[in-house]
Amino acid sequence: MNDNTNETLQLVNKFAETAHEIVDQLQSSAVSMESIIGKQSREASDNIKAGISREASELEKYVDQNPELSAVIAFAIGVAATRFLKSKAPGEATSGDETQQGETSKVA
């Protein structure tokens, strides 16, 4: 082999080694980042659970202190939710749809 071929092979090998080192560093960084993100995710989840537990405890105290008002509020929320869900039920024709269908059949 001539000197140019040897130099080219050495450059290719050096490039390959450098590329492998970079990939190894990136992989190591990714593992570290994954660990940090996992820890932060667990902490955030724990904070959310603690907040929900705290709010539930406060709501429970309120219901214990005001049972009649709590029952009225729960009933009102149930009625509102039922009306909302009925108005959004798929496949039901609204009054405007029925009127348009009637007009279309009269024209035809």
Q: Does residue 25 form part of some domain? A: yes
What torsion do the CA atoms of 8, 10, 16, 17 make, to the nearest 10 degrees? Answer: -160
Asked if the structure places residue 95 within a domain, the reply is no
Domain count, the chain: 1
Which class for 72: exposed (0-12), middle (13-18), buried (19 or more C-beta within 10 A)? exposed
Cα 83–chain centre separation: 28
Q: What is the pLDDT of residue 88?
A: 76
How far apart are alpha carbons 75 and 68 in whole angstroms?
11
Residues of the chain whose pLDDT is less than 70?
1, 89-108
Q: What pLDDT is stored for residue 5 in this prediction? A: 85
Structural domain range at position 73: 3-87
Please state, in angstroms and as integers, the Cα–Cα distance from residue 31 to each residue in 19, 22, 36, 84, following that order: 18, 14, 9, 47
pTM: 0.45
